[in-house]
Amino acid sequence: MSNWEAVIGLEVHCQLRTQSKIFTGAATAYGAEPNTQADPVTLGLPGVLPVLNREALQMAVKFGLAIGAKVAERSVFARKHYFYPDLPKGYQISQYELPIVAEGHLDIEIPGPKGEEPTLKRIGITRAHMEEDAGKSLHEAFPGVTGIDLNRAGTPLIEIVSEPDIRSAAEAVAYLKKLHQLVVYIGICDGNMQEGSFRCDANVSVRRKGEAKFGTRTETKNVNSFRYVEKAIEYEIERQIEVIEAGGKIVQETRLFNPDTGETRAMRSKEDANDYRYFPDPDLLPVVVTAADMEAIRATLPELPEAKRHRFVTQYALPKYDAAVLTGESALADYFEAVVETSGADAKTCANWITTDLLGALNKLGKDITASPISVEMLAGMLKRIVDKTISGKIAKDVFEAMLAGEGDADAIIKAKGLVQITDDGAIISAIDKVMAANPGQLADYRSGKDKLFGFFVGQVMKATQGKANPDALNRLLKEKLAP
């Protein structure tokens, strides 16, 4: 590989989060009984006409604005002809020469050597065009035959085509994750890769380092997980190098990835644009987006992930790592800000509890932040009790576990379990005196210079007070009492 360079471009099919299909009012709900959402327009029955879903158009424009692209004032739908059982009309309505979005970009982070800051790399986005999805062929459920479910046919998509700026499988995954985060953040896609809402075709070629001309590319179709994309690209790079070094030639073709073997295999020869016989769809007028339309849609854009991450670093004085984790999902960022606003605790303390304790617990439960059993109010309520010294940070761990188990909010748990922190100096001194009296040997050793025994005494007093002694008061009083 040292003498070779990969050239990678990605085509991402992003299913738009509309309630109805792109050219008809039929539903798009996932999981419906097969063929119950295949209406006359989707099937292309005689006498029916498509009508563009306005919400799908707005979502496409929203995406273009989010990636700093040119949004076309006038774009055109075309018919893309091919014959496959899951395409009932014999053509797909897509966009070809005049797409809705062109010339955008995403910046990805490339990890640097250990201890160094990552570097930014800009990946160009050639275009994003609107189109309808095809149906689904089902092979495994019907031995010897193929089942066709046309529920998905007509579902609105944007196909997002990158420039061939990607040079490794790792860069491809970084780009896909950034793109996935963005489309979910701005609310145009649910991002569910298992259901096919966000799937990728990987175009891969190789060339010797220093060469300007691209090699012959292959396209690996419909890969629906980040890990599989990485494995498919890595396999295809190695395969192409081996073929060329053995004196063979790469054939332009479409391939499929087998996740069980980690290999790609040839499916069919790769079509060129003229094979599809594109021409403007005569049933659909050109799409016109005015400047006023554009500004109205721009006003609906939320704060984008990069801007939010930068704000978290500056506004809350968070480390970059914490800010990146907390802004990974819009709902998680909202949760954090609500906890900071209502708890009275400092932002770093809130971040620690959320990124370590809460996310760790949710990961074990297999839930995301939107299904958290600990609400904003519950976590903020617990943090308030740390701030006002009702409980210590150690006791808070027990309160957190109890909240996670559904035992109520922090105040109810503290009261029920008698977890109120001991802050009275007299009570703490009494516990210290008893511990000192019970451990004369350790006391003598400490006073003779074995300072590490201080931790032993802290532990013994905490044990005697069932962990309820205020840590700050305990440390202060213990130092005074242990002094020779």
Contact between 202 and 229 (Cβ < 8 Å): yes
**Residue, of 16 and 451, whose pLDDT is higher:** 16
394, part of any domain: yes
Residue 183 pLDDT exceeds 60? yes
Is 12 in a helix, a strand, or coil? strand
In the predicted structure, residue 272 carries a pLDDT above the cut 70: no
Of the residues 352, 385, 409, which one is the last residue of a structural domain? 409
From the CB of residue 9, how many other CB atoms can be counted at a distance below 10 Å?
22
- On whether both 147 and 241 belong to a single domain, the answer is yes
Domain of residue 339: give its range.
305-409
- Answer for the pair 7, 250: CB distance below 8 angstroms, yes or no: no
* 442-465 pLDDT per residue, tens: 878 778 878 888 888 888 877 887
As a whole number of angstroms, the distance between CA 192 and CA 442 comes to 60
Which pLDDT value is given to residue 271? Answer: 63
Asked if residues 67 and 106 have their Cβ atoms less than 8 Å apart, the reply is yes
How sure is the predictor about 102, in pLDDT bands with cuts at 50, 70 and 90? very high
* Listed residues 277, 296, 315: the one ending a domain: 296
Does residue 178 sit in the same domain as residue 262? Answer: yes
H or E stretch covering 475: helix 471-482
Q: Is residue 420 part of a domain?
A: no
**Burial group, residue 406, by CB count within 10 angstroms (0-12, 13-18, 19+):** exposed
User: How many Cβ atoms from other residues are within 10 Å of residue 336's Cβ?
Assistant: 28
- Contacts (Cβ under 8 Å, ≥6 apart) of 313: 319, 320, 323
Separation of alpha carbons 16 and 198, rounded Å:
9
Instruction: Please give the pLDDT value at position 201.
Output: 94
Of 296, 327, 357, which one is at a domain's C-terminal end? 296
Same domain, 165 and 283: yes
What pLDDT shows up at residue 273?
61
Whether residues 329 and 278 share a domain: the answer is: no
Segment among 166-175, 409-418, 420-429 with least mean pLDDT = 420-429
Question: Is residue 416 domain-resident?
Answer: no
Same domain assignment for residues 191 and 234: yes
Q: Which pLDDT score is estimated for 467?
A: 76
418 within some domain: no
Domain match, 195 and 52 both: yes
pLDDT at 1 over 60: no
* pLDDT at residue 73 tops 80: yes
Q: Determine the pLDDT at residue 446.
A: 78
Mean pLDDT of all residues in 409-414: 92
Using CA atoms, how far residue 473 sits from 457, 470, 482, in Å, is 14, 5, 14
Whether residue 444 sits in one domain with residue 387: no
Question: Do 147 and 227 sit in the same domain of this protein?
Answer: yes
Any idea what the Cα angle at residue 329 is, between residues 305 and 229, rounded to 5°?
A: 90
Rounded to the nearest integer, the mean pLDDT of the chain is 90
Distance CA 357, CA 401 (A): 9
Q: Is residue 417 part of a domain?
A: no
- CB proximity list for 420: less than 8 A, separation 6 or greater: 390, 391, 414, 468
In a domain, 415, yes or no: no
pLDDT at 270: 63
- Considering the domain architecture, whether residues 154 and 230 belong to the same structural domain is answered as yes
Q: What is the pLDDT of residue 469?
A: 77
For the stretch 282-317, what's the b/e string if a residue is b when 16 or more beta carbons lie within 10 angstroms of its beta carbon?
eebeebebeeeeeeebeeeeeebbeebbebbbeebe
Instruction: Tell me the pLDDT tens digit for each residue of 118-147.
Output: 888 999 999 999 999 999 888 777 788 888
Identify the burial level of 23 via C-beta atoms within 10 angstroms of its C-beta, where 0-12 means exposed, 13-18 middle and 19 or more buried. Answer: buried
What total of structural domains would you count in the chain?
A: 3
Could you give the maximum distance between any two Cα atoms of the chain, in Å?
100
- What's the rounded Cα separation, in Å, for the pair 154 and 93? 9
Q: Which of 45, 66, 46, 62 is nearest to 54 (CA)?
A: 62
Residues 58 and 136 grouped into a single domain: yes
Rounded distance between C-alpha atoms, residue 321 and residue 326, angstroms: 9
Contact 477, 465 (CB under 8 A): no
Distance from C-alpha of 114 to C-alpha of 118, rounded to nearest angstrom: 10
For residue 252 the two structure tokens come to 């332009």
Residue type, 232: A
Say which CATH number the domain at 446 has.
Answer: 1.10.10.410
Looking at the fold, whether 404 and 429 belong to one and the same domain comes out as no
Beta strand 70-71 pairing with 74-75: unpaired
- Same domain? 39 vs 131: yes
Q: What's the Rg (C-alpha) of the chain?
A: 30
Residue 414 included in any domain? no
Q: Count the neighbouring beta carbons within 10 Å of the beta carbon of residue 480.
A: 10
Average pLDDT over residues 452-479: 80
Asked if residue 419 belongs to a domain, the reply is no
Among 354, 399, 346, smallest CA distance to 376 is for 354
